[in-house]
Amino acid sequence: MKIPFLRGRAKPPSVEELRFRAEPLVAALRGEVLDRYSVDQAAVFIADSDGRGLYLVSEPELTAEEQRIYSLLMESLYYSMKPAVRVEDPMKYVEGFIWESAEDLGIVDAVQKSFQKLKYYISRDAFGYGPLHVTMLDPDVEEISVTSYATPVNVIHRRFTQYDWLETNITFGSEDALRNYVQRLAQRAGKSVTIAIPFCDAMTREGHRIAVTFADEVTLPGSTLSIRKFPESPLSMAHLLRFRTLTPLMASYLWLVAEYKGFVMTVGAMGSGKTTMLNCILTMIDPTLKIATIEDVPELRIPHPSWQRFKARHTYSITEAKFDIDLMDLVKLSLRYRPDYIVVGEVRGEEIRALVQAAALGHGCLCLAEDEAIPFMNSGTFRLTTIGDLVDGILEGRYKSVSVFSLDVDDWRIVPSKVKRVFKVPSSGFLLRIRAEGGKELKVSPDHPLLVMEPSGLKVKRAEHARPGDALPFTKRMPASEDGLGSEDICFARIIRVSREPYDGFFYDVETEKGTFLHSTCAVTHNCSFHGESPEAAIIRMKSPPMDVPEGNLMLIWCFTLLGRVKMPDGDMVRRVLEITEVVPRDGRIELTRLFTWDARRDAFTPDDAEAVVKRSYRLGSVKRLTGWGDSELAEELRRRSAYLEKVVEEGKLNYPDFAEAVRRFYVGRKGRTE
């Protein structure tokens, strides 16, 4: 069909000559197709190609005639579009614009034939996310990463976690194209990136978190972007129970602690689900109470009518930052609003001191706070292996009654120390190689705590903060028996070089009773959960600059909830509450007591009965004092709440509004019983 307004021309413009041209994505299928589904007008294929996961997008093709219509409509839109702030419903505006322009141009019949395709491409390119439009619309895509214009876009898919990152058929082709895209993406979020300020962290209108860099000022080889997508409707505690992230009994414990204004800290690695867990705990608080949330980038969403949201303001000025409003300012300000609960989305600095003070005043507080050699004793026998083999052997049951060698700081000796837990997590793509005097060397993750000797004594420092000249403890030789080593065998070597190297394997770690272990070329480092925090590491960080929280104030914390993203035997990546640990003040010092733990071999949690929880818990004693309950009554309350949560899950009240309504009815029913 010929387009009426082109009849006077001897020859219509070729597709290459058009000012605007749609670029459909074409999926070249390879490997085994695992799933196929539609996202708007596009088709998405999930495939396995020789063990590598693929996310392939196929968009509808346009004929030459449809490309010309698209170009005319886009040109008309370009000159007539309302300012973005005035377009409240982009899709409705696009539909109306297409028909209005078609009538003006005399191409109504042609547009009618291809309306859905034209609507898709105009929405994608004018109001959507361009090349990333399908991944942004796909509710199963959890995260999007672009590390270079020359490499394909990668995504994390909620239903195919066994592949970690899926490679897509989406590329940007050139650095200029990617630069233009990241600038547009930042502008959509109300920010800007330039050579002067080449990065930004923001939230999209849909509530997704973005981070971008511009050109090669801070990232190589050029611009990058990362988008962390959040579900349109936040996950509820019912979802986490169905996913087996925790048990109803654990959720009931957190519910009681939050209700009676205990100070809860949620810790874990990036992407482990800290924000989701925090949000889920908040949904179980009485909806009649007032909650103040304080965040750098707004992510929390709760159903409470009396919800006061605070967000930090960053100017990113190259000259001064006097107009910045940080989390510390907002924590102080929030106290003037007299909230029942103060929630800090992520604690990094001195705002923790204000948060602890808020807890002291009675506000409820919540926050987010392989080949290394290692000698060990296995059932009394000395052995030397790699840390990867040791951790895998413990998980598989090959090694039992394991002790590794730790630094006893009091006696300044290397002695056997029982292994309490082991960790195995995928790397984020690189490791740090630390070279020290005498040919000594470490290969660790960036967040691994190192012991560093400073004038004031032995301190803990993250590996990424280590610098040439720092003195690390080593031993002159490996221990050869359970006798360990004496102080004469302990020495210090200064760091010569710290380098970052690609690494796609796993990071392994062991947690010991003494908090350190000997590995590599006789290096002594602090144990930790790689790519995350343990309660012990969180305490150390809070006692160190820039937080500097006195130990007496740390006693106000009730418990730590540690989350992790772990790989199951079938390859699936799942999120689990690895432990819930209580902070127990004793004789002026802090003791950490593990209340709930996750068994990786059985994928199960202990304890699983309310009486054992009440018997083991120190902090539930405060609940007993506030309520007048005895042990049996407290255990019965835990069982009642567990049964209520199980019923909510069985009835399918998973979505956010339904779960929030179920919680509201719980409190209404309880008030009815007490009247």
Tens-digit pLDDT profile for residues 231-289 = 877 889 999 999 999 999 999 999 999 998 888 888 887 778 888 899 999 999 888 88
Q: Which of 301-315, 339-353, 587-601 has the lowest mean pLDDT?
A: 339-353
Higher pLDDT, 552 or 319: 552
Q: Which of 45-54, 164-173, 481-490 has the lowest mean pLDDT?
A: 481-490
Q: What is the pLDDT of residue 166?
A: 95
Q: Which of 11-15, 40-44, 161-165, 391-395 has the lowest mean pLDDT?
A: 11-15
Q: What is the pLDDT of residue 426?
A: 67
- Residue 578, C-beta contacts closer than 8 angstroms, at least 6 positions apart: 268, 529, 562, 563, 564, 566, 597, 598
What is the rounded distance in angstroms from the CA atom of residue 216 to the CA atom of residue 219? 5
Tens-digit pLDDT profile for residues 176-221 = 999 999 999 999 888 889 998 899 888 888 889 899 999 999 999 9
Q: What is the pLDDT of residue 250?
A: 97
Look up residue 637 and give its two tokens: 């309350």
* 3-state SS assignment for residue 24: coil
* Residue 2 binned pLDDT confidence (cut-offs 50, 70, 90): very low
Report yes or no: 352 and 373 within 8 Å, Cβ to Cβ: no
Q: What is the pLDDT of residue 625?
A: 86
What is the rounded distance in angstroms from the CA atom of residue 294 to the CA atom of residue 312? 8
Average model confidence (pLDDT) across the chain? 82
Q: What is the pLDDT of residue 35?
A: 96
* 3-state SS assignment for residue 44: strand
b (16+ CB within 10 A) / e for 61-80? ebeebbbbbbbbbbebbeee
Tens-digit pLDDT profile for residues 226-238 = 999 988 778 899 9
Place of tokens 């050699």: 373
Q: What is the pLDDT of residue 523?
A: 46
275-279, 403-407, 646-650 — most confident range: 646-650
* 3-state SS assignment for residue 591: strand
Section 324-337 average pLDDT: 83
Look up residue 48 and give its two tokens: 């396995």
- Residue 181, C-beta contacts closer than 8 angstroms, at least 6 positions apart: 130, 131, 172, 223, 225
Higher pLDDT, 525 or 226: 226
* 3-state SS assignment for residue 610: helix
**Looking at the predicted structure, is the pLDDT value of residue 577 above 80?**
yes
| Distance (Å) of CA 182 to CA 150, 196, 221 | 15, 15, 15
Concatenating the DSSP letter of every residue in 445-462 gives -TT-EEEEEETTEEEEEE
Section 452-469 average pLDDT: 76
What is the rounded distance in angstroms from the CA atom of residue 49 to the CA atom of residue 37? 18
| Distance (Å) of CA 646 to CA 241, 287, 533, 638 | 8, 20, 30, 12
For residue 106, the tally of other CB atoms under 10 A from its CB is: 11
All domains in the chain, ordered by first residue? 4-228 (3.30.450.380), 242-369+535-674 (3.40.50.300), 373-526 (2.170.16.10)
Look up residue 249 and give its two tokens: 């009994």
Q: What is the pLDDT of residue 663?
A: 92
β-sheet bridge partners, residue 308: 292
How many helices, marked H, and strands, marked E, lie in the chain? 18, 31
**Looking at the predicted structure, is the pLDDT value of residue 25 above 60?**
yes
Q: What is the pLDDT of residue 239?
A: 93
- Between 115-122 and 64-80, two packed helices, what is the crossing angle to 10 degrees? 50
Q: What is the pLDDT of residue 481?
A: 75
Q: What is the pLDDT of residue 369?
A: 42
* Residue 539 binned pLDDT confidence (cut-offs 50, 70, 90): confident
What is the rounded distance in angstroms from the CA atom of residue 99 to the CA atom of residue 108? 7
Q: What is the pLDDT of residue 520?
A: 44
b (16+ CB within 10 A) / e for 595-618? bbbbebeeeebebeebeebbeebb
What's the length of the chain? 675
